[in-house]
Amino acid sequence: MTLAKTLGTAVLGLGLISLGMFGNAVAETSAPLLDKVPPETVLTVGDPVTQKALEVSGLIKELTFEVKWANLSGGPQTSEAFRAHALDVGSVAEIPSIFANWNNLPVRNIAYRERKDPIANPIYRFGIAPGVDVKSLADFRGKRIAFSPGQAQGTLVLRALHAAGLTKKDATLVELPSTGDVYPKALASKQVDIAPLGGVYIRRYIAQYGREGATLIEHGLRDDPSHLYAPQWVLDDPAKAAALAQYVRLWARATEWIDQHPDIWIKEYYIGQQGLSREDAEFLVELAGTQVIPDSWADVKKRHQDTINLLAGELGYKPFDVEKIFDNRFEKVAASALSRSQ
């Protein structure tokens, strides 16, 4: 399906519509959430991992409203669906809400989770092309680095350069989409010297190209933020906002359930749905470690603000206040649903 509709059908221009929505945001995000979800409320949700966890755990039976599941997640897909009014909430990392703001798409984060030990359990590691001598982030100087602006991998590259006292001018950033096995193949073919690798591609890259001299290095930085976010016009709807609160609670419990049932999750999701080998599935469970849902957003907002400022400085955008992309009504909703302290 092509998501080609625009933000609205009114004769007002996109800029005016967006400004109107942002102006509305201040008032609506201070309105209390309804205690119960009104009858006939429907949400369209792009969060396939949570969908599977809710189904396998049986928690899906606790939904009191209709959910239309959309098989999409991540920034590019969810942003396009938001603009088409084809999605009410999506699962993403840290970056999509920031770039949505810069592209006149009013959204807010409504849930947040992180890894208990983000340094020991990073989402990404940097793959090094065979024959390239890189032992630390300082060695990124002068190298060709795969770069996907507007996505988590691209931001990690900028963070890594910043941590080494470098900027994007000190390396050659090669714009490549961070999808599928594009980055491992770019490394193997010497198209780039360095690329952030995630998921099974960390393990597979070394298994496939390690004999040729391919290596990995740790970056030692946080790369673990995970969010649910929604368009402002959805949050402005009291019925949908109440449904989102219920969904956030179940999202938190599904996260907890996955942590507590790794063997079932390996069988039902990684092997049964994703078609991975047991070795790949076990690697991913170990890589993820334990997920944590804090009851305060103070630290995450500070890190988010640092990210906004870094991206603005390196990519030429105008910095903005992080409060613009968080709906504080939801700050404690997820953590309040958990059955154990974290």
Is residue 169 in a domain?
yes
Residue 132 tokens read as: 């390239």
Are 39 and 87 contained in the same domain? yes
Predicted pLDDT at 179: 87
Question: H/E element holding 79?
Answer: helix 75-83
Please, which residues have CB within 8 angstroms of residue 55's CB and are 6 or more apart in sequence? none
Please, which residues have CB within 8 angstroms of residue 143's CB and are 6 or more apart in sequence? 132, 134, 171, 172, 193, 194
Are 228 and 91 contained in the same domain? yes
Domains of the chain: total: 2
Quick count: other Cβ atoms within 10 Å of Cβ 241? 24
Which of these three, 162, 191, 217, is where a domain ends? 217
Are 310 and 331 contained in the same domain? yes
Question: For residues 89 and 68, what is the distance between their CA atoms, to the nearest angstrom?
Answer: 11
DSSP 317: P
Question: For residues 12 and 9, what is the distance between their CA atoms, to the nearest angstrom?
Answer: 8
Please, which residues have CB within 8 angstroms of residue 100's CB and are 6 or more apart in sequence? 75, 79, 82, 106, 107, 229, 325
Is residue 241 in a domain?
yes
Are 93 and 231 contained in the same domain? yes
Distances (CA, A) of 314 to 9, 83, 155, 162, 169: 35, 27, 10, 10, 9
Is residue 208 in a domain?
yes
Predicted pLDDT at 7: 31
Predicted pLDDT at 157: 98
Question: For residues 44 and 209, what is the distance between their CA atoms, to the nearest angstrom?
Answer: 41
Question: For residues 152 and 297, what is the distance between their CA atoms, to the nearest angstrom?
Answer: 20
Are 140 and 269 contained in the same domain? no
| Domain span holding position 128 | 124-217
First-to-last C-alpha distance (Å) of the chain: 41
Distances (CA, A) of 208 to 103, 176, 213, 335: 39, 21, 10, 41
Question: For residues 141 and 168, what is the distance between their CA atoms, to the nearest angstrom?
Answer: 9
CATH number assigned to the domain comprising residue 61? 3.40.190.10
Question: For residues 336 and 172, what is the distance between their CA atoms, to the nearest angstrom?
Answer: 45
Predicted pLDDT at 41: 98
Three-class DSSP category at 90: strand
Residue type, 294: P
Is residue 143 in a domain?
yes
**8 Å CB contact between 310 and 222:** no
Predicted pLDDT at 68: 98
Q: What is the pTM of this model?
A: 0.90
Are 190 and 102 contained in the same domain? no
Predicted pLDDT at 340: 54
Which of these three, 217, 232, 249, is where a domain ends? 217
Torsion of CA 23, 29, 31, 37, to 10 degrees: 120
**8 Å CB contact between 98 and 149:** no
Which of these three, 217, 234, 249, is where a domain ends? 217
Phi, psi of 101 (to 5 degrees): -60, -45
Reading phi first (left if > 0) and then psi (alpha if -120 to 50, else beta), residue 26 is in alpha
β-bridge partners, 114: 292
Of 18, 71, 62, the residue nearest 252 (C-alpha): 62
DSSP states of 160-198? HHHHTT--GGGSEEEE----TTHHHHHHHTTS-SEEEEE
Are 61 and 149 contained in the same domain? no
Are 245 and 101 contained in the same domain? yes
**8 Å CB contact between 224 and 115:** yes
**8 Å CB contact between 334 and 249:** yes
Each of the 342 residues of the chain gets a pLDDT tens digit; together they read: 333 333 333 323 333 333 344 444 443 677 899 999 999 999 999 999 999 999 999 999 999 999 999 999 888 999 999 999 999 999 999 999 999 999 999 999 999 999 999 999 999 999 999 999 999 999 999 999 999 988 899 999 999 999 999 999 999 999 999 988 999 999 999 999 999 999 999 999 999 999 999 999 999 999 999 999 999 999 999 999 999 999 999 999 999 999 999 999 999 999 999 999 999 999 999 999 999 999 999 999 999 999 999 999 999 999 999 999 999 999 999 999 997 544
